[in-house]
Amino acid sequence: ASNTPWGESVTFVFNPSCDLVPKSEYISPFMDMHGSWRLKVKEPGENLFAFISVQHPQVGTMFRASLTANKVETSSVITSDDLEAFFWLMPHRVSIMAYWNALKLVWKNVPFYEHPRKENPSYRDEAIPRDEKMQFCPIFGGNKSNNLRREERIDRCFTWKDAKGPWSYLIAYTGKIL
């Protein structure tokens, strides 16, 4: 995960068939850090599927997004240059849409949450004990079969680092400053 405006990135291990992971990164100023990410992905092949939702302890599901894609072969109609231009523009499109939606939330007076590092510089360290606690509690509707025994505990290896914005990746991808 990456939170472009704040220049942070976090990587971690999760069960792709369905997992609940503590929200370990400040993604949006319209969400606090009390939620958990529910993640599900399928191994890429001819199709790609990814699902994420934010489960909040007070309000329940407060965000949901999914991606479904099909593999496309290049042809005389779709050239590799077309695909390169499409993927070159995609980070810009995503960023513009994210900022546009943020502006609409501001217009609706949705509460704004400051980045947690202002009040709690060790907020990243809190993700690991939250994850350990979460792995020993009933999840997804209280189904006890989803509980992990202590010997089955997943070491997620949370790793935080500085991240570049989408424009930095474009410079690296094209090899020139845009």
Mean pLDDT for 46-73 is 90
Q: With helix as H, strand as E and coil as C, how does the chain read?
A: CEEHHHCEEEECCCCCCCEEEECCCCCCCCCCCCCEEEEEEECCCCEEEEEEEEEECCCEEEEEEEEEEECCCCCCCCCHHHHHHHHHHHHHHHHHHHHHHHHHHHHCCCCCCCCHHHCCCCHHHHHHHHHHHHHCCCECCCEHHHCCCHHHCCCCCCEEEECCCHHHHHHHHHCCCC
Task: Provide the mean pLDDT of the chain.
Answer: 75
Cα–Cα distance, 142 to 136 (Å, whole number): 12
Residue 163's pLDDT band (boundaries 50, 70, 90)?
low
Closest by CA to 33, choosing from 15, 57, 16, is: 57
According to the model, what pLDDT value does residue 107 have? 96
**Residue 19 resides in a domain:** yes
Q: How many structural domains is the chain composed of?
A: 1
Residue 143's pLDDT band (boundaries 50, 70, 90)?
very low
**Residue 65 resides in a domain:** yes
Q: Between these two residues, 54 and 4, which has the higher pLDDT value?
A: 54
Range of the domain at 17: 2-71+81-174
Q: Considering the entire predicted model, what is its pTM? A: 0.67
Residue 10's pLDDT band (boundaries 50, 70, 90)?
confident
**Residue 156 resides in a domain:** yes
**Residue 115 resides in a domain:** yes
Residue 3's pLDDT band (boundaries 50, 70, 90)?
low
According to the model, what pLDDT value does residue 147 have? 40
**Residue 56 resides in a domain:** yes
Mean pLDDT for 167-174 is 47
Q: Please calculate the CA angle 165-169-171 and round it to the nearest 5 degrees.
A: 115
Rg, Å, the chain Cα set = 19
- pLDDT over 50 at 136, yes or no: no
- pLDDT over 90 at 44, yes or no: no
**Residue 57 resides in a domain:** yes
- pLDDT over 60 at 117, yes or no: yes
Contact 53, 38 (CB under 8 A): yes
- pLDDT over 80 at 32, yes or no: yes
- pLDDT over 50 at 177, yes or no: no
**Residue 76 resides in a domain:** no
